[in-house]
Chains A and B, each alone.
Chain A
Amino acid sequence: MKRFEIAIILSILLSSFCLGLGYFWVDKYHISILIVVLNILLLFGFWFKYYWISHLTLLVNSLFICLGVFVSIPALVLLIAMVGVIAHWDLIGFLIRINDLKMKDSLINIKLKHMQRLFFVLLCAGLISAIPFLIQIQFNFLIAVIVSVISVVGLGIAVRISARSN
């Protein structure tokens, strides 16, 4: 099996393991089993090239991550699960993009480059998000609101600029 496929499987396993373990810790066994079953389905979907399943699992896994916050699953575990979910969604998305291409020669290189880029971005994302958890910052709610409003407005502007350039 190639490195790219291994990376996809590892990311699926990472997200399902973290989420499953989180719910297991808080004694929600049935949800834990449901998550494992869902991710096994995703693995099957990936194996049989039903790549569209990845969009569905992104939404469902994100839902379980949100739910996890309310049932007091450690936020760091949920964060790792979130990174795993984004990773497999992105990697399968890449596979969808290259699915119709006839190129064979340098595909391995481009896959490796993509994995490196994704790894770097997700590492940064993980670290940025983990810092507040690790150093136990007690967020003032007002600051959280301001940060979120700024980020939402900023992202909205960026999306609009991008849409215009398209």
Chain B
Amino acid sequence: MRLLLAAILFFTLVLLGLITLRGELILLSLPLAVYIGAAIIFIPAAIKLNITREIDPSRVIHGEHVNVKVRLHNGGDNLREAIIEDKIPALVKVMDGNYSLITDLSPNETLELDYKIEAKRGIHFIPGIKVISGDPFGLFQLNVTYPNEGEVKVLPRSPRIKNIPVRPDITKGNSGIFPSRKGGRGIEFYNVREYQPGDSLNIINWLVSARGYDRLFSNEFQMEKTADFWLILDARQRSDFKFNGESLFEIMVEITAAIAQSLLHTGNRVGLLIYGGFLDWTYLGHGKKQREKILMALTKAKSGESRIFEKLENLPTRIFPPRSQIIFISPIHSEDYQFLSSIKARSYQVLCISPDPITFELGVTQSVDRDNPGARLAMVERRFLLSRLRYSGIQVMNIDACLPVKISLGHIPAVIFHREKIIRSIL
């Protein structure tokens, strides 16, 4: 553009001078000619840069900073006023340092770009480095992109939570933390049985033995075992409430990661289904590898829209074994009630962890008027929906989405567990 403008102006002056036979016009074009000529002299023959990139660490938890260092070694001509710019992806924010600069780079000179970034959850690709060099007056520009790729994985935060308020019906063979409804070694009282040789004196129930049956009785405890858990993350577009750049889906991902981590930490098998634009399965597994798989699946998780998965009816429940424990993480819509109550009726154990979208909106938008009729009506409607779910035997944890996940998941379990016990006793 600049070259074109300068060239047009120069040729116009020259031509006008020739046509009108005015030597002054031709002479007035000389400054432009010298300007363009100087630009041509300064053009480098080619840009030859050796670029190395260091990303430390390349895998972080959401909220942590990543240091990026890019070293450029000039193996070619003198570069004057070269613009060097690292291409930063859209969801990455540069916190400190320079990722683009304009500089003179002599042959064999080394330059370093050093900056800190913070990114949102996901896998971010840094595609390469753009170098624009040419003459110092910006008339002739050589534009080169070096494909020096870098990758930053930003995992969701997964705060350690103490216990999950569930009591699975079916447990596995390994010892864990969930009561298995079978007598054996454990903490929770289960039954009284006749003393058997070899029983420890500590477990003899002296009160029952003293009733005069002429026999001794021992306490029996519930064995604590591991269990299988299916986590279902609701990634439907309609469940992803977004206000002021904040997304409820991020909180749901964080909750899922925290629960998965807590369950895996106590030796349970955990599977994950992300239900949104498509079905993303992570099959049951345990241990660190499974934790890694789940974290990677959650790192990539995005809310999406699909006509098939718009409602929960198409959720493939056949893959879950009968009476298995399902943990459903969703803000819950009124249309979901039918499906949730039906899977509960099919003897699945269901725990709904529901971040409250109303308090989320009020918190994010910093709405002062929390008692406005609209918000109150929405809250009443939600409370009604949750109570309907509870009465159909589904455990529901209503979570304040404005609180940190560790706090919001930390103080509710006892209440829920108690409520579950009451419902069981009624049923």
Q: Do A75 and B94 touch (CB < 8 A)?
A: no
The answer to whether A45 has its CB under 8 Å from any CB of chain B is no
Minimum Cβ distance to chain B for residue A79 (Å): 6
Task: Take A90-B137, A125-B31, A129-B27 as given contacts and tell me if A103 and B100 are in contact as well, using a CB distance cutoff of 8 Å.
Answer: yes
Min distance, Cβ B226 to any Cβ of chain A, angstroms: 51
Q: Is the CB of B81 within 8 A of A114?
A: yes
Residues of A within 8 A of B414 (CB): none
Stretch of A4-12, A17-25, A30-38, A54-62 with 4 or more beta carbons under 8 angstroms from chain B: A54-62
Q: Mark A139-166, 1 if CB is under 8 A from B, else 0.
A: 1010011011001100100110010011
CB distance from A72 to the nearest CB of B (A): 10
CB-defined interface of B9-34 with A at 8 Å, one 1/0 digit per residue?
11111101110111111111111111
B36 touches A129 (CB 8 A): no
CB distance from A114 to the nearest CB of B (A): 6
Specify the chain B residue showing the minimal Cβ separation from A140.
B23
Question: Which one of B3, B40, B100, B141 contacts A101 once the chains associate, using CB atoms below 8 Å?
Answer: B100
B40: chain A residues within 8 A (beta carbon): 158, 162
Q: How far is the CA of A148 from the CA of B25 in the complex (A)?
A: 11
Residue of A nearest to B137 (CB): A90
Beta-carbon contact of A118 and B104 below 8 Å: no
Given the interface pairs A158-B40, A162-B43, A165-B45, the reply to whether A94 lies near B32 with Cβ below 8 Å is no
The answer to whether B100 touches A148 (Cβ under 8 A) is no
In the complex, A14 has a CB within 8 A of chain B: no
Return A51 CB to nearest CB of chain B, in Å: 12
Closest CB in chain A relative to B19 CB, distance in Å: 11
A69 smallest CB distance to B (angstroms): 5
Question: Does B140 touch A at the CB level, under 8 Å?
Answer: yes
CB contact between A128 and one of B34, B85, B104 (< 8 Å): that residue: B34
Does A40 make an interface contact (CB < 8 A)? no
- Give the CA-CA distance A113 to B28 in the complex, in Å: 26
Please tell me if B296 contacts chain A, counting CB pairs below 8 Å: no
Does B126 count as interface, using CB distance less than 8 angstroms? Answer: no
The answer for the CA separation of A103 and B94 in the assembled complex, in Å, is 12
B142 CB contacts on chain A under 8 angstroms: 165-166
Q: Is B275 an interface residue (CB 8 A)?
A: no
Q: Are A125 and B34 in contact (CB under 8 A)?
A: yes
Report chain B residues within 8 Å CB of A66: 13, 16, 25, 28
Which residues of chain A are within 8 angstroms of B426 by Cβ–Cβ distance? none
State the CA gap A159–B83 with chains docked (Å).
22
Q: Would A58 and B5 count as touching, CB distance under 8 A? A: yes
A65, A79, A107, A129, most chain B CB atoms within 10 A:
A129
Residues A79 and B31 in contact, CB atoms below 8 Å apart: yes
Asked if A97 and B83 sit within 8 Å, CB to CB, the answer is yes
A162–B136 alpha-carbon span in the complex (Å) = 14
Q: Given the complex, which residues of A lie within 8 Å of B36, measured CB to CB?
A: 155, 158
Once A148-B17, A152-B11 are accepted as A-B contacts, the answer to whether A65 and B28 lie under 8 Å apart by CB is yes
Residue of A nearest to B5 (CB): A55
Asked if A133 is an interface residue, CB under 8 A from chain B, the answer is: yes
A151 touches B34 (CB 8 A): no
A132 / chain B contacts, CB cutoff of 8 Å: 27
The reply to whether B102 and A103 contact each other, CB–CB distance below 8 Å, is yes
Q: Which residues of A contact B5 (CB under 8 A)?
A: 55, 58-59
The verdict on A41 contacting chain B, using a C-beta distance below 8 Å, is no
Name A97's closest neighbour in chain B (CB-CB): B138
Interface assignment of B35: CB less than 8 Å from any CB of chain A: yes
Residue of A nearest to B85 (CB): A101
How distant is the Cα of A52 from the Cα of B46 in the complex, in angstroms? 30
Chain A hits for B11, CB < 8 A: 152
| B7 and A159 contacting across the interface, CB-CB below 8 Å | yes
By the criterion CB–CB under 8 Å, are B34 and A101 in contact? no
Which of A78, A86, A124, A144 makes the CB contact (< 8 A) with B26?
A144
Known contacts A83-B31, A110-B103, A103 near B98 by CB under 8 Å = yes
In the complex, A78→B31 CA distance in Å?
11
Q: Which residue of B lies closest to A129 (CB)?
A: B30
B100 in contact with A102 (CB, 8 Å): yes
**Across the interface, which residues of B come within 8 angstroms of A118, CB to CB?**
136-137
Instruction: Known A103-B100, A126-B31, A155-B37; judge A59-B9 contact (CB<8 A).
Output: yes
Cα A124 to Cα B21 in complex, Å, equals 26
The answer for the CA separation of A145 and B7 in the assembled complex, in Å, is 18
Q: A107-B102, A110-B81, A165-B43 are in contact. Are A144 and B17 (CB under 8 A)?
A: yes
Determine how close the nearest CB of chain A comes to the CB of B99; give it in whole angstroms.
6
Among B31, B100, B141, contact of A129 (Cβ-Cβ < 8 Å): B31
Q: Which residues from B are CB-within-8-Å of A101?
A: 83, 85, 100-102
Interface residues of A, Cβ cutoff 8 Å to B = 55, 58-59, 62, 65-66, 69-70, 75, 78-79, 82-83, 86, 90, 93-94, 97-98, 100-107, 110, 113-114, 117-118, 121-122, 124-126, 128-129, 132-133, 139, 141, 144-145, 147-148, 151-152, 155, 158-159, 162, 165-166
A/B interface sample: 28 pairs, CB < 8 A: A55-B5, A62-B12, A86-B31, A86-B32, A90-B137, A97-B83, A101-B85, A101-B101, A103-B98, A106-B103, A110-B102, A110-B103, A114-B136, A121-B137, A122-B31, A122-B35, A125-B33, A128-B34, A144-B17, A151-B14, A151-B33, A152-B11, A152-B14, A155-B7, A155-B36, A162-B40, A165-B43, A165-B142
The 9 closest A-B pairs by CB, nearest first: A125-B34, A103-B101, A125-B31, A129-B30, A121-B38, A139-B23, A75-B24, A103-B98, A158-B40
